[in-house]
Copies of this chain bind each other. A is one copy, B any other.
Amino acid sequence: MATLDEGHHYLIAPDPAKRGLTRRVTGRDQNGDLSEISVVEEKPLTIFLNSQEIVTAMTIGDYPEYLALGFLRNQGMLSEEDSVTGVDFDAELETVVVRTAKITDHEEKLKKKTRTSGCAVGTVFGDMMEGLSGLKLPQAEVRTSWLYSLSATINRTPSLYLEAGAIHGTVLCQQDRPLVYMEDVGRHNAVDKIAGWMLSERVGAQDKILYTTGRLTSEMVIKTALMGIPVLASRSGFTAWGVEIAREVGLTLIGRMRGQRFICLSGEDRLVRDADPAQIGDESARHGRKGARR
């Protein structure tokens, strides 16, 4: 079980200076002047479950093992009963293989599906939905003072986003402390990397808050629910199905969080309003994170 070092907020924080995550490229700006900017890397990574090829994700390339583990877990392809015997990343082949002691249910299902229709693509989403049936997220408290504090800390944390833009961030938090901050170009890779880290470190979910810069779509809500995290907050907006699923599983869903403003569309009962919004003020254009959809 990972423990929190009180002196440092993050167990894992972005490392914008790390080699291989960004590249300098040169172009010309609106005045025709040469301009050099940082852009994020984006590489294919093919995930295998034992000998079964599952998916090729487009990723920034850090933490491939967490990404593979978390992806398989969040898709319901890897259950708690499956004993993981190894996770092997091959940088040259751009593959990561998750090995289990026994053949998994999912591989059996894929074989059956392949025999009947010739392809398993359509099952992916169905499998995720299946994992939700009957799920009720645990009781928990979330104070609005924590949310404001988390939002302020995360937006000011040095990140690939601040360095190069064009990237999404997801942060696993506990009360007002951000613990693990993952970024990725791929839509849901950041949250999958967090799921992989939680699985590896055997971190409990019931007292956690997930913060994301991305939109609160059905897939984001389903992943958070399958991870067992009772609270999901975002700067961005909602989709109708995301809200519907959150209400079904009792997930606290908070969106459009900017400055003092937010709206809670599900699981309002967990919210403890201990902060005065007027004291928080509005988000200044200068300190706001540009990158989020309303």
A residues with CB within 8 A of B: 22-23, 25-32, 35, 37, 39-44, 46, 52-56, 58, 110-111, 114, 117-122, 124-125, 144, 161, 164-168, 185, 187, 215-219, 236-243, 256, 260-266, 268, 271, 273, 277, 285, 290-294
Contacts and interface: CB of A to CB of B under 8 A. Distances in A.
Copies assembled:
2
Contacts of A261: 29-30
A31 B277 contact: yes
Nearest to A107: B118
Given A32-B273, A217-B42, A290-B294, A122 B56 contact: yes
Contact of A30 (B39, B260, B290): B260
Contacts of A291: 236, 292-294
Contacts of A268: 27-28
A237 B165 contact: yes
A80 B147 CA distance: 52
Contacts of A273: 32
B28 A239 contact: no
Given A119-B120, A291-B292, 15 more contacts: A25-B240, A27-B268, A28-B263, A28-B271, A29-B264, A39-B242, A41-B239, A42-B217, A42-B218, A42-B242, A44-B125, A54-B119, A58-B217, A118-B120, A166-B236
Closest 10 CB pairs of A and B: A165-B294, A166-B237, A291-B293, A27-B265, A42-B239, A165-B237, A30-B277, A42-B241, A23-B240, A39-B238
A261 B37 CA distance: 14
A166 B294 contact: yes
Contacts of A187: 187
21 contacts: A23-B240, A25-B243, A27-B265, A28-B263, A29-B263, A30-B277, A32-B273, A42-B217, A53-B121, A55-B121, A56-B121, A56-B125, A58-B217, A111-B118, A114-B119, A119-B119, A165-B237, A165-B294, A166-B239, A166-B294, A187-B187
